[in-house]
Amino acid sequence: YRALLHFIEKHFGLLPAADCDAKCVMRMKMIMKDWSTSTQASYFACLKSIWNYANYKGYTGKTDYPFQRHEYEIDKVKVPKTKKRTEHFLTVEQISRIYHHWFEMPDEKGKDKSCKMYVGLFLFSYLGNGANVNDLLRLKYNNDWYNSDGKILSFVRHKTADKSPVKVQIPVTKWLKPILDYIADEPTRNGNVLGWFLKDTDTNDEETMFKRTMYVNSFTSVKVRKVCKVLGLREDVCVTFA
């Protein structure tokens, strides 16, 4: 909801609910045309909830419902459906091509727009049991790292930490180690593993971390798509594919 509010304020200013008609929502969709389907679906799901509440409270007046309920309502906005999890995948052969290509990429360590760093993060996510960026940015050099002599990283999944604080382990395999050696910070007890990606972010502030995670997610997807284009792979790849 915060991200949606920021998007609306950026492109439309303070938008009255009554102005949120089909024409307005169509403009939003046009602005989002290069976004992933899942991100668009998330934004529009939030917008639909807000619109329904505004309508219930009487704020929208006689504004027509802007979202398509039936296929024949071509003057309304069709909310994109999020693809099934099984549709978000690359074959092992395709991942292997990205992995081997990564070693041939220019050494840009330390540069803010480093393609190799962000593609490395994508591969880290894949090789780290599919850990998402939200959890990877919170990775610490904890006791598991030191007790295993640098062979295990671990974390408690942030999304379910309050309900199910199950520890997830990431074995530092021979495939992951060169990636980790390149993109990770030097080990310090309880220090951030991926401090480079945090850029002075206050990791204790949830809103700041949320914004940073959104940025890194988005930027990683942009860089991975460039590599996929070079390799002749599907170009809609994002972090979810890892």
8 Å CB contact between 141 and 193: yes
Please tell me the distance from the alpha carbon of residue 131 to that of residue 125, in angstroms, as a whole number: 5
**What is the structure's pLDDT at 86?**
62
Residue with tokens 């074995």: 171
pLDDT digits (tens, 9 = 90+) for 24-46: 999 999 999 888 777 888 899 99
Give the residue from 30, 28, 56 showing the smallest Cα distance to 43: 28
Percent of the chain surpassing pLDDT 90: 50
pLDDT digits (tens, 9 = 90+) for 121-150: 999 999 998 899 999 999 999 999 999 999
8 Å CB contact between 137 and 213: yes
pLDDT (mean) for 90-110: 89
Please tell me the distance from the alpha carbon of residue 63 to that of residue 20, in angstroms, as a whole number: 8
Residue with tokens 């074959």: 91
Angle, CA of 117, 123 and 125, to the nearest 5°: 105
Give the residue from 144, 228, 229, 32 showing the smallest Cα distance to 241: 228
162 band by pLDDT with thresholds 50, 70 and 90: confident
Give the residue from 217, 53, 218, 219 showing the smallest Cα distance to 136: 217
Give the residue from 199, 204, 192 showing the smallest Cα distance to 219: 199
205 band by pLDDT with thresholds 50, 70 and 90: confident
- Residue 159 has which token pair? 């999304």
What element of type H or E holds 179? helix 177-183
